[in-house]
């Protein structure tokens, strides 16, 4: 977090110090954020490292973002994030993003710093719980236990919008390059530990990639695709771990009308891992993962909305699609009610078949049952 903090101070502190004589600079600062408290209960298996089989309040989350529009072209900002999710989050405050955003012209802009990764429908917006109706986004692709690693990277992003003509819609693009670091307190690191792998320092790698979104002439319809490329390097107490350059494509679409929306996403990930012990022969493995979801929602009233999604995840490289350890199928029904402009509540039911996503050995020492029934209730405050 030290490197992230240096960037944050440089972005927000620099302009204020350099222009301390003007109180207008401070007056232009914008503060927004949210706080949520959730309760989760399941029948047998514990989920997302919480003690859900006995009912758990171990999911508390809050975020505060600060931004300043320095001039017509330049905006700076950052977001602090607090997460306590069962065994994850470590009860710490981290920095989700801290960036400078320069508008080059009407077609292009440049962001630099700790920048959110635009990949798929929700990766760059999953840090804003008030913005969507679900308590849990599809675990098959947007696991909250993996969010701390997947959300952002240290680097730069070139983005913009290109009109394609009156009858062809427009194209939104994003291209980025930078470094990412595996969070020390999330599901990735726990998965490594549960397979016997530990590190002397957290692994890291490069993250080049791009996202293209076509907004069609049909109002509300978007068709898009993303490709993230990454590698990973990690030093173990007696060796190294390396993941060669990996291609992570995803394809998605969304349609929004006045009161309802429909969306779907598919991704495929083939990842190779090479472990080189000190003074010994190397070993390699490959994991082939497929995941997709389809969802829809409807505004019953201005304040009340309901929705449902189905999420599917499969470890294709395991070779046995009938083994619950190799798949996860999640049927979800959800509702959200906006009590006031500042307070909202969410209620969600999950019917999970399979054990391959969202479950950990740390809170399931006696093994897993093949099916899980989960209820999540959440209250939130936004400002």
Cβ atoms of residues 253 and 263 within 8 Å: yes
Strand partners, 52: none
Structural domain range at position 355 = 2-382
- For position 339, which CATH number holds? 2.40.160.10
The overall pTM is greater than 0.75: yes
Long-range contacts of 75-81 (CB under 8 A, 24+ apart): 75/100, 75/101, 76/11, 76/12, 76/15, 76/100, 76/101, 77/11, 77/12, 77/101, 78/8, 78/11, 78/12, 78/114, 79/127, 81/127
- pLDDT tens, residue order, the chain (383 aa): 555 555 554 555 544 434 443 545 556 899 999 999 999 999 999 999 999 999 999 999 999 999 999 999 999 999 999 999 999 987 789 999 999 999 999 999 999 999 999 999 999 999 999 999 999 999 999 999 999 999 999 999 999 999 999 899 999 999 999 999 999 999 999 999 999 999 999 999 999 999 999 999 999 999 999 999 999 999 999 999 999 999 999 999 999 999 999 999 999 999 999 999 998 899 999 999 999 999 999 999 999 999 999 999 999 999 999 999 999 999 999 999 999 999 999 999 999 999 999 999 999 999 999 999 999 999 999 99
Q: Report the alpha-carbon distance of residue 299 to residue 292 in Å, rounded.
A: 24
Q: Report the alpha-carbon distance of residue 327 to residue 277 in Å, rounded.
A: 31
Per the structure, the count of domains in the chain is 1
Burial class (CB in 10 A: 0-12, 13-18, 19+), 194: exposed
Cβ atoms of residues 118 and 109 within 8 Å: no
């Amino acid at each position: 977090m030290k490197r992230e903090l240096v960037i944050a101070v440089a972005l927000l502190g620099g302009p204020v110090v350099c222009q301390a004589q003007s109180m207008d600079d401070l007056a232009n600062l914008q503060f927004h954020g949210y706080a949520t408290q959730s309760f989760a209960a399941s029948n047998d298996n514990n989920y997302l490292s919480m003690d859900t089989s006995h009912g758990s309040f171990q999911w508390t989350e809050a975020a505060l973002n600060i931004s300043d529009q320095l001039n017509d072209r330049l905006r700076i900002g950052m977001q602090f994030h607090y997460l306590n999710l069962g065994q994850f989050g470590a009860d710490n405050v981290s920095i989700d993003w801290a960036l400078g955003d320069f508008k080059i012209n009407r077609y292009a802009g440049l962001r630099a710093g700790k920048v959110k990764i635009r990949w798929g429908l929700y990766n760059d917006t999953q840090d804003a719980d008030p913005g969507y109706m679900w308590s849990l986004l599809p675990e098959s692709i947007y696991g909250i236990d993996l969010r701390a690693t997947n959300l952002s990277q240290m680097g730069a992003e070139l983005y913009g919008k290109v009109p394609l003509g009156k009858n062809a819609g427009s194209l939104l693009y994003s291209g980025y390059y930078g470094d990412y670091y595996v969070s020390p307190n999330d599901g990735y690191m726990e998965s490594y530990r549960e397979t016997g792998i530990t590190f002397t320092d957290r692994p890291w790698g490069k993250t080049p990639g791009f996202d293209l979104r076509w907004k069609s002439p049909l109002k509300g319809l978007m068709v898009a695709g993303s490709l993230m490329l990454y590698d990973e390097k990690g030093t173990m107490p007696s060796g190294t771990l390396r993941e060669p350059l990996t291609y992570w494509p995803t394809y998605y679409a969304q349609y929004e009308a006045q009161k309802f929306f429909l969306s779907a996403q598919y991704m495929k990930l083939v990842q190779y891992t090479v472990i080189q012990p000190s003074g010994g022969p190397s070993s390699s493995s490959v994991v082939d993962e497929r995941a997709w979801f389809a969802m829809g929602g409807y505004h019953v009233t201005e304040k009340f909305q309901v929705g449902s999604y189905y999420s599917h995840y499969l470890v294709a490289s395991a070779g046995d699609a009938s083994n619950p350890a190799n798949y996860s199928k999640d049927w979800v029904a959800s509702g959200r009610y906006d009590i006031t402009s500042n307070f909202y509540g969410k209620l969600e039911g999950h019917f999970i078949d399979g054990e391959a996503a969202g479950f950990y050995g740390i809170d399931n020492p006696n093994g897993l049952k093949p099916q899980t029934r989960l209820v999540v209730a959440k209250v939130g405050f936004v400002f």
